[in-house]
Amino acid sequence: MFGRRGAGRAAARGRPGGELSLDGQPGGELSLDGQPGGQASPDARPRGEVLALDAVGRTHRRGAIVALHPVDLSVPRGHFLAVMGPSGSGKSTLLQCAAGLDRPTSGTVRVEGVALDGLTEARLTRLRRERVGFVFQAHNLVPSLSAAENVALPLLLGGATGEVRGPALRALAAVGLADRADDLPAELSGGQQQRVAVARALVTDPAVVFADEPTGALDPVTAHDVLALLRRAVDVDGHTVVMVTHDPVAAAWCDEAVFLARGRLVAALHRPDPDRVHEVMRRIGGGAAA
């Protein structure tokens, strides 16, 4: 595993009525800004914050279904954060709102200080293309384009006028696939395809990369490779990664894991290890993958 640098912690800021406990300890005190007994205030955010959720909530059917109760979360630059929780706890909802793929019904998401709720659809699309990277469980590569063309796609969609193959090749080299640049996705293994997806997510040098179960479809060895790449992107290149995962082993690559249950942030683990993740999952009522 790559060494971990001393990045700041993501702060899951509890709200009145919440049940947030730090480090998964039973009976943990409601924590504001990650500090026991602290006060929630926008000014108290850690410096270098790239992603902030202020009371972000999402309901459906005119409020009849609460997918996400108002959640506060602050993610500093150079942080690798896991979002965990039982099925239906609101992980994807949180990720989609944070990434600007879905509009929250309450609260504000800020990426590098830019409030997404104030943006037109066109500006939101542009911000997603330029400042946000995505890695999904299904890699979503375009089958008719080569690996290099797939990686170059975000640059072209972002209106790049210069040469895009060079940056795409460098991004592919960073994931160990320099020699497969001209292969089609179908000519690559599942793990290699996911590495291309990681290169594609990083090629624009985004403020934050959102990964939704990026290793969910991979065998443990291949999953290890992909997680190592994400870890290196954080440690070596200073990227920020927010990853939804069910897998305690995947979460152990992260600096911190936050846990959702029934649409609320209920716990956080600093430097999670699989045993502690299992224990928190057991306590909040969800099994974790073995």
Ligand X SMILES: Nc1ncnc2c1ncn2[C@@H]1O[C@H](COP(=O)(O)OP(=O)(O)OP(=O)(O)O)[C@@H](O)[C@H]1O
E strand spans, the chain: 11-13, 21-22, 31-32, 35-36, 49-60, 65-76, 80-84, 106-111, 114-115, 132-136, 208-212, 241-244, 256-261, 264-270
Q: How far is the CB of 285 from ligand X (least distance, A)?
A: 13
Q: Which residue ranges make up the site for ligand X (CB under 6 A)?
A: 60, 65, 67, 85, 87-93
Q: How far is the CB of 140 from ligand X (least distance, A)?
A: 17
Q: How far is the CB of 151 from ligand X (least distance, A)?
A: 27
Nearer to ligand X, 85 or 191 (CB): 85
Classify residue 103 as left (phi > 0), alpha (psi -120 to 50) or beta: beta
Nearer to ligand X, 92 or 108 (CB): 92
Nearer to ligand X, 91 or 139 (CB): 91
Residues in contact with 130: Cβ distance below 8 Å, sequence separation at least 6, in sequence order: 158, 204, 206
Q: How far is the CB of 61 from ligand X (least distance, A)?
A: 6
Range 22-51 burial, b when 16+ CB lie within 10 A, else e: bebeeebebbbbbeeeeebeeeebbeebbb
Q: How far is the CB of 173 from ligand X (least distance, A)?
A: 33
Q: How far is the CB of 99 from ligand X (least distance, A)?
A: 13
| 8 A C-beta contact, residue 57 and residue 105 | yes
Residues in contact with 220: Cβ distance below 8 Å, sequence separation at least 6, in sequence order: 249
